[in-house]
Amino acid sequence: MQRERRRIRRPDPRSIQLATNTTGLTGVAGLVEFATFVHAQGLHRQLAKQFGHLKKRRSVVYPMAAQLRLLVDLHVVGEGRVFGLEAMAHDPLFVHLAGGTVPSIDVLYDDLARFGEKDLARLERLVAKQALERLSEKRPTIVHIDIDTTVTELFGSQEGALAGPNPRYRGRPSYHPMLARIAETGDICGAVLRPGDRGFGAEDVPTIVGWIERVRDAVGPDCLIRVRIDAAGDLTELLCAFERLGVHYYTKARMTRNLADALAMHASWRSVDHDAMGKPTLQVATLPFQRPDWNRAGITPRIVALRSRERDNGKHLYLWEHLDYTAQAFVTNDWTLDEEEIARLYDDRASIEPVIGELKSAWCIGKAPSASFDGNHAAFLVKLLAYNLYRAFLAARYAPLAKWRTSWSRRMVILRPGKIVRSGRRTTVQAPRVYVPMLC
């Protein structure tokens, strides 16, 4: 049109007739490809084997495996709440994949409440299994595990919704989940939902140890595992566990008074960056500092200090009145890398923050569908299972879109219009092909 210099002309919408009696149209045509991929992974058989006992009477209409697959599909199409089933119940393709009918949302609420402690542990291992299978296929020599906690505010009376550390809504009841992510694949390899008053402490060490051990089993003994965690990881019990596991850890140091004094009094700094005038803007050092708890535990971590004139990331401490420097420190057992590489490696841990943000916005892990804590824990894990499966699906079928945010890739791949055509015993879904932009 531009080459021909023809001006476009919008039609009169009143001349277009809208037919509402069509029953063969769907808005989630891409769900067929996803369901085919998941079926090939044998997910339904795994769900039936591990959770079939939760609903095993012969009169059961909606088996637990079918309910969990229904929830996975529900989350993949973008509905983060169980209540979203009411809207998807009008989509013929979604209903067809669900078995020809969908249950009442009350049935789903009751089914989520059936999960107990052992069942939740099995579901969490199934989430990690999806991530570790993809990781083992890559046969990496170095793996980075990023561990972080987040706060999900709640505005109801859910079980376990308690007031705790909450920088945004102080005093607001919430949950305090903890997640572990594999940086090389972006998948979640460990997750647990905790009450809102639960901070990070020694009671969480066995959980993290279990996550690292499962990664070790997947990558083998020769792979170097690097664990990155924020200042909460500066915990003697956790550092000792890392030493026993033979992994490298990188954590922000808790800025106690004796560490601040050691930073302020340290005299030997190495300049690694300068400004246009030749003055140093970034200096690093390894401090001869040990906490009393470390000496009693028999560990000798390395304290890497960094002071800079430019506050570009993280929380810095102002220690020198006559110098325009702010400082931060890191705790590690890696004595091979230079100090600036240690700091850069730790800063890369920040990539888990947008992942958590995406899990909250696109997968709604902060929404609690039930009054039961175990039910909310199960819903939380099902969303993470859907997230890992969806990432594996994109990597296998649409690799250029795997780096996109879920909201965009879901629109391109899953939320495609289509028409259901039934001929004989065959069901066909006619849908446009996925358009992969050239910018990929």
Sign of the C-alpha dihedral computed for residues 62, 67, 70 and 71 taken in this order: positive
Q: Using CA atoms of 408, 428, 83, 164 in order, give the dihedral in degrees to the nearest 10.
A: -40
- Residue 313: pLDDT over 70: no
> Can you read off the two tokens belonging to residue 145?
């595990």
DSSP string, 205-230: HHHHHHHHHHHHHHH-TTSEEEEEE-
* pLDDT given at position 123: 97
Give the mean pLDDT of 85-102.
Answer: 93
Site of tokens 């915990």:
235
Q: What percent of the chain has pLDDT over 70?
A: 96
- Residue 314: pLDDT over 60: no
Query: Is 142 found in the same domain as 88?
Result: no
**DSSP alpha helices (H): ranges in 21-84?**
31-40, 43-51, 64-76
* pLDDT given at position 246: 95
Query: Is 247 found in the same domain as 124?
Result: yes
Q: Could you tell me if residue 438 is inside a domain?
A: no
Query: Is 86 found in the same domain as 73?
Result: yes
Give the mean pLDDT of 80-109.
Answer: 93
- Residue 128: pLDDT over 70: yes
- Residue 225: pLDDT over 60: yes
> Can you read off the two tokens belonging to residue 114?
């059936």
Give the mean pLDDT of 89-108.
Answer: 93
Q: Could you tell me if residue 367 is inside a domain?
A: no
Of 358, 376, 409, which residue constitutes the final position of a domain? 358
pLDDT, tens digit, for every residue of 263-310?
888 889 999 988 878 888 889 999 999 999 999 999 999 999 998 877
Average pLDDT, the chain: 90
Kindly report the number of other CB atoms within 10 A of residue 79's CB atom: 18
Give 365: exposed, middle or buried? Use CB within 10 Å, 0-12, 13-18, 19+: buried
Of 304, 339, 358, which residue constitutes the final position of a domain? 358
pLDDT, tens digit, for every residue of 371-416?
899 999 999 999 999 999 999 999 999 998 988 999 999 999 999 9
Give the mean pLDDT of 2-23.
Answer: 84
Q: Could you tell me if residue 370 is inside a domain?
A: no
Confidence of residue 326 (pLDDT cuts 50, 70, 90): confident
Work out how many domains the chain is built from and give that number.
2
Which of 196, 193, 207, 210 has the alpha carbon at shortest distance from 374? 193
DSSP string, 307-337: EESS--SS--EE--TTS--EEEEEEES--SS
Cα dist from 171 to 149, 164, 198, 404, whole Å = 18, 7, 14, 35
Half-sphere exposure of 293 (CA within 13 A, CB side): 7
Lowest-confidence pick of 32-41, 121-130, 425-434: 425-434
Query: Is 320 found in the same domain as 176?
Result: yes
Give the mean pLDDT of 347-365.
Answer: 93
* pLDDT given at position 394: 95
Confidence of residue 125 (pLDDT cuts 50, 70, 90): very high
* pLDDT given at position 319: 65
Q: Could you tell me if residue 387 is inside a domain?
A: no
Cα dist from 51 to 14, 102, 120, whole Å = 53, 19, 10
> Can you read off the two tokens belonging to residue 326?
């702010």
Q: Could you tell me if residue 377 is inside a domain?
A: no
CA 94 – CA 77 distance, rounded (Å): 10
The secondary structure of residue 398, as a DSSP letter, is: -
pLDDT, tens digit, for every residue of 246-258?
999 999 999 889 9
Residue range of the domain that includes 76: 22-114+398-430
